[in-house]
Amino acid sequence: MAAEHNAAIDAAMHDVEDNAPLDQEATGPYHWLAAERRVRLDSHETITNKLKEMLELVGTLGENGTIAEGPLVTLSNQLRDAFGACEAMREEANNAGAMSVGFCALVTRGEHADFPAVTHMLSDRGFCQTLVNLKVEQLRILQHEPEKGPRLTQFGCINLEMWGNDLVNGAMKAWSKLLYEWRIHGELAACVGNRHAGRDPGLLPRTFVRTVCNLILLRLNLWPKLKEHLDKMHIHGRHMFPVELWSNPVVNKIMNEDPRCISFVADAGHIDMNALARKGPIRRSDTARREATLEGLAENQKMLLKNGAEYIRDTFPKGQFLFQGTWWDASIFTWPRETIPKLEELMETILK
Protein backbone atom coordinates (compact mmCIF):
# COMPACT_ATOMS: atom_id res chain seq x y z
CA MET A 1 0.00 0.00 0.00
CA ALA A 2 2.80 2.42 0.90
CA ALA A 3 4.43 1.79 -2.49
CA GLU A 4 1.18 2.67 -4.26
CA HIS A 5 0.85 5.90 -2.26
CA ASN A 6 4.45 6.90 -3.01
CA ALA A 7 3.91 6.16 -6.70
CA ALA A 8 0.86 8.43 -6.69
CA ILE A 9 2.84 11.20 -5.01
CA ASP A 10 5.71 10.82 -7.49
CA ALA A 11 3.21 11.03 -10.33
CA ALA A 12 1.72 14.19 -8.85
CA MET A 13 5.19 15.71 -8.53
CA HIS A 14 5.94 14.74 -12.15
CA ASP A 15 2.71 16.35 -13.37
CA VAL A 16 3.38 19.57 -11.50
CA GLU A 17 6.91 19.85 -12.85
CA ASP A 18 5.79 19.06 -16.41
CA ASN A 19 3.27 21.90 -16.23
CA ALA A 20 5.94 24.43 -15.26
CA PRO A 21 5.88 27.54 -17.50
CA LEU A 22 8.94 26.47 -19.52
CA ASP A 23 7.17 24.41 -22.15
CA GLN A 24 7.51 26.86 -25.00
CA GLU A 25 9.26 27.34 -28.31
CA ALA A 26 13.00 27.87 -28.12
CA THR A 27 14.12 31.50 -28.23
CA GLY A 28 17.87 30.97 -28.10
CA PRO A 29 20.62 28.41 -28.74
CA TYR A 30 18.79 25.78 -26.68
CA HIS A 31 15.53 23.82 -26.66
CA TRP A 32 13.40 23.01 -23.63
CA LEU A 33 12.42 19.34 -23.68
CA ALA A 34 9.11 19.07 -21.83
CA ALA A 35 9.19 15.28 -21.64
CA GLU A 36 12.69 15.24 -20.11
CA ARG A 37 12.25 18.50 -18.17
CA ARG A 38 15.66 19.75 -19.22
CA VAL A 39 17.41 22.03 -21.66
CA ARG A 40 19.12 20.62 -24.75
CA LEU A 41 22.15 22.75 -25.56
CA ASP A 42 23.04 22.96 -29.26
CA SER A 43 26.76 23.22 -28.45
CA HIS A 44 26.54 20.04 -26.38
CA GLU A 45 24.78 18.21 -29.20
CA THR A 46 27.54 19.26 -31.61
CA ILE A 47 30.30 17.97 -29.33
CA THR A 48 28.61 14.64 -28.60
CA ASN A 49 27.83 14.06 -32.29
CA LYS A 50 31.46 14.68 -33.21
CA LEU A 51 32.60 12.24 -30.52
CA LYS A 52 30.18 9.61 -31.85
CA GLU A 53 31.56 10.08 -35.35
CA MET A 54 35.11 9.66 -34.02
CA LEU A 55 34.13 6.50 -32.16
CA GLU A 56 32.60 5.06 -35.33
CA LEU A 57 35.74 5.97 -37.30
CA VAL A 58 38.01 4.35 -34.74
CA GLY A 59 35.85 1.22 -34.84
CA THR A 60 36.05 1.10 -38.63
CA LEU A 61 39.84 1.56 -38.62
CA GLY A 62 40.17 -1.19 -36.06
CA GLU A 63 38.10 -3.58 -38.18
CA ASN A 64 40.28 -2.80 -41.21
CA GLY A 65 43.44 -3.49 -39.24
CA THR A 66 44.71 0.07 -39.74
CA ILE A 67 45.22 0.53 -35.98
CA ALA A 68 46.87 -2.02 -33.72
CA GLU A 69 44.71 -3.56 -30.99
CA GLY A 70 46.51 -1.83 -28.07
CA PRO A 71 46.23 1.78 -29.39
CA LEU A 72 42.68 1.00 -30.58
CA VAL A 73 41.53 0.07 -27.06
CA THR A 74 43.30 3.08 -25.53
CA LEU A 75 41.79 5.52 -28.04
CA SER A 76 38.31 3.99 -27.67
CA ASN A 77 38.46 4.29 -23.88
CA GLN A 78 39.59 7.93 -24.08
CA LEU A 79 36.77 8.82 -26.46
CA ARG A 80 34.29 6.99 -24.25
CA ASP A 81 35.50 8.94 -21.21
CA ALA A 82 35.27 12.23 -23.13
CA PHE A 83 31.71 11.38 -24.14
CA GLY A 84 30.81 10.56 -20.53
CA ALA A 85 32.35 13.84 -19.35
CA CYS A 86 30.18 15.76 -21.85
CA GLU A 87 27.04 14.05 -20.56
CA ALA A 88 28.03 14.87 -16.97
CA MET A 89 28.69 18.49 -17.99
CA ARG A 90 25.19 18.77 -19.44
CA GLU A 91 23.66 17.37 -16.25
CA GLU A 92 25.63 19.78 -14.08
CA ALA A 93 24.75 22.73 -16.34
CA ASN A 94 21.05 21.91 -16.13
CA ASN A 95 21.17 21.56 -12.34
CA ALA A 96 23.21 24.74 -11.93
CA GLY A 97 20.84 26.71 -14.12
CA ALA A 98 17.74 25.49 -12.29
CA MET A 99 19.27 26.08 -8.88
CA SER A 100 20.35 29.60 -9.84
CA VAL A 101 16.71 30.39 -10.54
CA GLY A 102 15.80 28.84 -7.18
CA PHE A 103 18.44 30.90 -5.35
CA CYS A 104 17.30 34.17 -6.93
CA ALA A 105 13.64 33.43 -6.16
CA LEU A 106 14.09 32.30 -2.56
CA VAL A 107 16.70 34.84 -1.47
CA THR A 108 14.23 37.55 -2.44
CA ARG A 109 11.11 35.95 -0.93
CA GLY A 110 11.12 32.76 1.13
CA GLU A 111 7.44 32.10 0.41
CA HIS A 112 8.37 31.39 -3.23
CA ALA A 113 9.15 27.90 -1.91
CA ASP A 114 5.48 27.12 -2.59
CA PHE A 115 6.32 26.56 -6.29
CA PRO A 116 6.68 22.75 -6.51
CA ALA A 117 9.72 22.88 -8.80
CA VAL A 118 11.48 25.13 -6.27
CA THR A 119 10.15 23.15 -3.30
CA HIS A 120 11.87 20.05 -4.64
CA MET A 121 15.25 21.84 -4.49
CA LEU A 122 14.97 22.09 -0.70
CA SER A 123 15.55 18.33 -0.52
CA ASP A 124 19.16 19.02 -1.58
CA ARG A 125 21.32 19.69 1.48
CA GLY A 126 23.96 21.64 -0.47
CA PHE A 127 21.30 23.86 -2.03
CA CYS A 128 19.82 24.70 1.38
CA GLN A 129 23.18 25.57 2.94
CA THR A 130 24.19 27.76 0.00
CA LEU A 131 20.77 29.43 0.09
CA VAL A 132 21.22 30.44 3.74
CA ASN A 133 24.74 31.74 3.05
CA LEU A 134 23.36 33.92 0.25
CA LYS A 135 20.54 35.21 2.46
CA VAL A 136 23.03 36.10 5.19
CA GLU A 137 25.09 37.99 2.64
CA GLN A 138 22.01 39.86 1.42
CA LEU A 139 21.07 40.90 4.96
CA ARG A 140 24.64 41.99 5.67
CA ILE A 141 24.59 44.21 2.58
CA LEU A 142 21.29 45.75 3.70
CA GLN A 143 22.81 46.55 7.10
CA HIS A 144 25.29 48.93 5.42
CA GLU A 145 28.16 49.89 7.75
CA PRO A 146 30.88 48.15 5.69
CA GLU A 147 33.54 48.95 8.29
CA LYS A 148 31.92 46.86 11.04
CA GLY A 149 32.86 43.35 9.95
CA PRO A 150 30.88 40.37 8.66
CA ARG A 151 28.53 39.69 11.59
CA LEU A 152 24.79 40.24 11.34
CA THR A 153 23.21 42.40 14.00
CA GLN A 154 20.54 40.97 16.28
CA PHE A 155 17.93 42.59 14.04
CA GLY A 156 19.54 40.88 11.02
CA CYS A 157 19.40 37.50 12.78
CA ILE A 158 15.71 38.04 13.58
CA ASN A 159 15.06 38.89 9.93
CA LEU A 160 16.88 35.72 8.90
CA GLU A 161 14.69 33.60 11.18
CA MET A 162 11.54 35.31 9.88
CA TRP A 163 12.66 34.53 6.33
CA GLY A 164 13.19 30.91 7.42
CA ASN A 165 9.60 30.77 8.64
CA ASP A 166 8.43 32.07 5.25
CA LEU A 167 10.51 29.33 3.64
CA VAL A 168 8.81 26.67 5.77
CA ASN A 169 5.33 28.09 5.13
CA GLY A 170 5.93 28.10 1.37
CA ALA A 171 7.42 24.61 1.23
CA MET A 172 4.73 23.05 3.43
CA LYS A 173 2.00 24.77 1.42
CA ALA A 174 3.30 23.05 -1.71
CA TRP A 175 3.74 19.68 0.02
CA SER A 176 0.25 19.86 1.49
CA LYS A 177 -1.07 19.73 -2.08
CA LEU A 178 1.45 17.16 -3.30
CA LEU A 179 0.65 14.85 -0.39
CA TYR A 180 -3.11 15.01 -0.83
CA GLU A 181 -3.26 11.45 -2.19
CA TRP A 182 -1.22 10.27 0.79
CA ARG A 183 -3.39 12.14 3.28
CA ILE A 184 -6.69 10.92 1.80
CA HIS A 185 -5.70 7.37 2.82
CA GLY A 186 -5.23 8.37 6.45
CA GLU A 187 -6.89 10.61 8.98
CA LEU A 188 -8.24 12.98 6.32
CA ALA A 189 -10.22 10.12 4.79
CA ALA A 190 -12.54 10.04 7.79
CA CYS A 191 -13.52 13.66 7.15
CA VAL A 192 -14.72 12.95 3.60
CA GLY A 193 -16.22 9.52 4.17
CA ASN A 194 -13.52 7.79 2.14
CA ARG A 195 -13.53 3.97 2.11
CA HIS A 196 -9.87 4.03 3.25
CA ALA A 197 -10.78 5.83 6.47
CA GLY A 198 -8.86 4.64 9.49
CA ARG A 199 -5.99 3.02 7.58
CA ASP A 200 -2.44 4.12 8.26
CA PRO A 201 -1.27 5.87 5.08
CA GLY A 202 2.26 4.46 5.36
CA LEU A 203 5.62 6.10 4.78
CA LEU A 204 6.08 9.48 3.18
CA PRO A 205 8.42 10.06 0.20
CA ARG A 206 12.08 10.40 1.13
CA THR A 207 12.14 13.75 -0.72
CA PHE A 208 9.76 15.19 1.86
CA VAL A 209 11.70 13.69 4.76
CA ARG A 210 14.99 15.13 3.43
CA THR A 211 13.33 18.53 3.06
CA VAL A 212 12.21 18.56 6.71
CA CYS A 213 15.66 17.42 7.87
CA ASN A 214 17.39 20.09 5.77
CA LEU A 215 15.17 22.84 7.17
CA ILE A 216 15.98 21.76 10.74
CA LEU A 217 19.70 21.74 9.91
CA LEU A 218 19.57 25.36 8.75
CA ARG A 219 19.76 26.32 12.46
CA LEU A 220 17.03 28.96 12.13
CA ASN A 221 14.77 27.65 14.94
CA LEU A 222 12.31 26.26 12.40
CA TRP A 223 11.16 23.13 14.25
CA PRO A 224 8.18 24.80 16.01
CA LYS A 225 6.85 26.05 12.65
CA LEU A 226 7.54 22.66 10.98
CA LYS A 227 5.75 20.83 13.80
CA GLU A 228 2.76 23.12 13.37
CA HIS A 229 2.48 22.17 9.69
CA LEU A 230 3.08 18.48 10.34
CA ASP A 231 0.26 18.47 12.88
CA LYS A 232 -2.08 20.17 10.41
CA MET A 233 -1.29 17.49 7.81
CA HIS A 234 -1.80 14.71 10.42
CA ILE A 235 1.78 13.52 9.92
CA HIS A 236 3.31 11.51 12.76
CA GLY A 237 6.83 10.32 13.41
CA ARG A 238 6.13 6.80 12.14
CA HIS A 239 5.26 8.24 8.73
CA MET A 240 8.70 9.81 8.34
CA PHE A 241 11.10 7.99 10.65
CA PRO A 242 10.57 4.23 10.92
CA VAL A 243 12.66 2.53 13.59
CA GLU A 244 15.31 1.46 11.08
CA LEU A 245 16.03 5.13 10.34
CA TRP A 246 16.69 6.11 13.97
CA SER A 247 20.38 5.21 13.57
CA ASN A 248 20.71 7.10 10.28
CA PRO A 249 23.44 9.81 10.54
CA VAL A 250 21.15 12.55 9.24
CA VAL A 251 18.36 11.66 11.67
CA ASN A 252 20.88 11.58 14.52
CA LYS A 253 22.17 14.97 13.43
CA ILE A 254 18.75 16.63 13.46
CA MET A 255 18.08 15.20 16.92
CA ASN A 256 21.39 16.62 18.15
CA GLU A 257 20.80 19.99 16.47
CA ASP A 258 17.25 20.37 17.80
CA PRO A 259 16.42 17.86 20.54
CA ARG A 260 12.83 19.11 20.65
CA CYS A 261 12.15 16.92 17.60
CA ILE A 262 13.24 13.69 19.36
CA SER A 263 9.75 12.94 20.65
CA PHE A 264 8.40 13.32 17.10
CA VAL A 265 11.04 10.94 15.71
CA ALA A 266 10.05 8.46 18.43
CA ASP A 267 6.41 8.80 17.30
CA ALA A 268 5.49 10.37 20.64
CA GLY A 269 5.02 13.92 19.45
CA HIS A 270 2.64 14.73 22.30
CA ILE A 271 5.57 14.69 24.76
CA ASP A 272 7.51 17.90 25.43
CA MET A 273 11.22 17.01 25.52
CA ASN A 274 12.10 19.98 27.73
CA ALA A 275 9.44 19.00 30.24
CA LEU A 276 10.73 15.42 30.16
CA ALA A 277 14.30 16.63 30.74
CA ARG A 278 13.43 18.93 33.65
CA LYS A 279 15.39 18.17 36.83
CA GLY A 280 14.16 18.11 40.42
CA PRO A 281 11.14 16.56 42.10
CA ILE A 282 8.13 15.65 39.99
CA ARG A 283 5.41 18.22 40.52
CA ARG A 284 1.72 17.77 39.96
CA SER A 285 2.02 19.83 36.76
CA ASP A 286 4.91 17.73 35.39
CA THR A 287 2.74 15.42 33.32
CA ALA A 288 5.57 14.65 30.86
CA ARG A 289 7.69 13.10 33.60
CA ARG A 290 5.03 10.77 34.94
CA GLU A 291 5.27 7.12 34.01
CA ALA A 292 1.67 7.21 32.80
CA THR A 293 2.77 9.50 29.95
CA LEU A 294 5.01 6.76 28.52
CA GLU A 295 2.37 4.04 28.78
CA GLY A 296 1.59 2.40 25.47
CA LEU A 297 5.03 3.14 24.03
CA ALA A 298 7.42 0.40 22.97
CA GLU A 299 10.69 -0.08 24.83
CA ASN A 300 12.76 1.38 21.99
CA GLN A 301 10.56 4.49 21.99
CA LYS A 302 11.01 4.92 25.74
CA MET A 303 14.77 4.43 25.38
CA LEU A 304 15.02 7.10 22.66
CA LEU A 305 13.00 9.56 24.76
CA LYS A 306 15.04 8.92 27.91
CA ASN A 307 18.34 9.25 26.00
CA GLY A 308 17.10 12.50 24.50
CA ALA A 309 16.11 13.89 27.88
CA GLU A 310 19.52 12.96 29.29
CA TYR A 311 21.23 14.61 26.31
CA ILE A 312 19.34 17.86 26.94
CA ARG A 313 20.15 17.82 30.66
CA ASP A 314 23.87 17.19 30.08
CA THR A 315 24.44 19.46 27.08
CA PHE A 316 22.46 22.67 27.43
CA PRO A 317 22.41 25.43 30.08
CA LYS A 318 19.96 24.74 32.92
CA GLY A 319 19.14 21.42 31.25
CA GLN A 320 16.71 23.00 28.78
CA PHE A 321 16.75 23.51 24.99
CA LEU A 322 14.43 26.41 24.28
CA PHE A 323 15.79 27.93 21.09
CA GLN A 324 17.87 26.87 18.10
CA GLY A 325 19.94 29.67 16.64
CA THR A 326 23.35 31.22 16.21
CA TRP A 327 25.11 34.43 15.30
CA TRP A 328 25.66 34.61 11.55
CA ASP A 329 28.70 35.92 9.68
CA ALA A 330 28.75 36.87 6.01
CA SER A 331 31.40 35.01 4.03
CA ILE A 332 31.14 35.65 0.28
CA PHE A 333 32.49 39.22 0.27
CA THR A 334 35.53 40.45 2.19
CA TRP A 335 34.63 42.14 5.48
CA PRO A 336 35.32 44.74 6.72
CA ARG A 337 35.57 46.74 3.50
CA GLU A 338 35.64 50.35 2.40
CA THR A 339 32.40 50.26 0.41
CA ILE A 340 29.28 48.16 0.70
CA PRO A 341 28.72 45.70 -2.18
CA LYS A 342 25.57 45.95 -4.25
CA LEU A 343 22.81 43.36 -4.25
CA GLU A 344 23.36 43.02 -8.01
CA GLU A 345 26.85 41.74 -7.24
CA LEU A 346 25.37 39.04 -5.03
CA MET A 347 23.01 37.98 -7.83
CA GLU A 348 25.97 37.85 -10.22
CA THR A 349 27.72 35.58 -7.73
CA ILE A 350 24.74 33.23 -7.82
CA LEU A 351 24.63 33.12 -11.61
CA LYS A 352 28.33 32.46 -12.17
Residue 56 in domain: yes
* pLDDT for 11 beyond 50: no
Q: How far apart are CA 334 and CA 205, in angstroms?
A: 41
**Separation between Cα atoms, residue 35 and residue 14, nearest integer Å:** 10
Does residue 223 form part of some domain? no
Residue 233 pLDDT > 80, yes or no? Answer: yes
Give me the pLDDT at residue 65, please: 76
Residue 338 counted as domain residue: no
User: Domain tally for the chain?
Assistant: 2
Q: What is the pLDDT of residue 289?
A: 52
Instruction: Note whether residue 134 is domain-resident.
Output: no
- pLDDT > 70? residue 2: no
Contact status, residue 106 vs residue 112, Cβ threshold 8 Å: yes
- Rounded-to-integer distance, Cα 291 and Cα 301, Å: 13
Instruction: Tell me which of 334 and 70 has the higher pLDDT.
Output: 334
Give yes or no for residue 14 having a pLDDT over 50: no
Question: CA 43, CA 48: separation in Å to the nearest integer?
Answer: 9
| Residue 239 pLDDT grade (very low, low, confident, very high; cuts 50, 70, 90) | very high
In a domain, 170, yes or no: no
pLDDT of residue 91: 66
Mean pLDDT for 214-230 is 97
Average pLDDT rounded to a whole number, residues 35-63: 69
157 close to 327: Cβ distance less than 8 angstroms: yes
Domain contains 12: yes
**Which of 167, 154, 128 lies closest to 328 in space, CA to CA?**
154
Domain boundary among 46, 73, 106: 106
| Stretch 58-65: mean pLDDT | 78
- 39 within a domain of the structure (yes/no): yes
pTM of the entire predicted model: 0.74
**Owning domain of residue 88:** 2-106
Residue 339 maps to a domain? no
CA separation for the pair 324, 20 (Å, rounded) = 36
Q: Which of 298, 306, 252, 251 is nearest to 277 (CA)?
A: 306
Residue ending a domain, among 84, 106, 128, is 106
Give me the percent of the chain exceeding a pLDDT of 90. 45
Q: Looking at 106, 137, 155, which one is the last position of a domain?
A: 106
Tell me which of 65-74, 75-84, 165-174, 186-195 is least confident: 186-195
- CA dihedral of 116, 118, 121, 123, whole degrees rounded to 10: -40
pLDDT of 13 reads 40
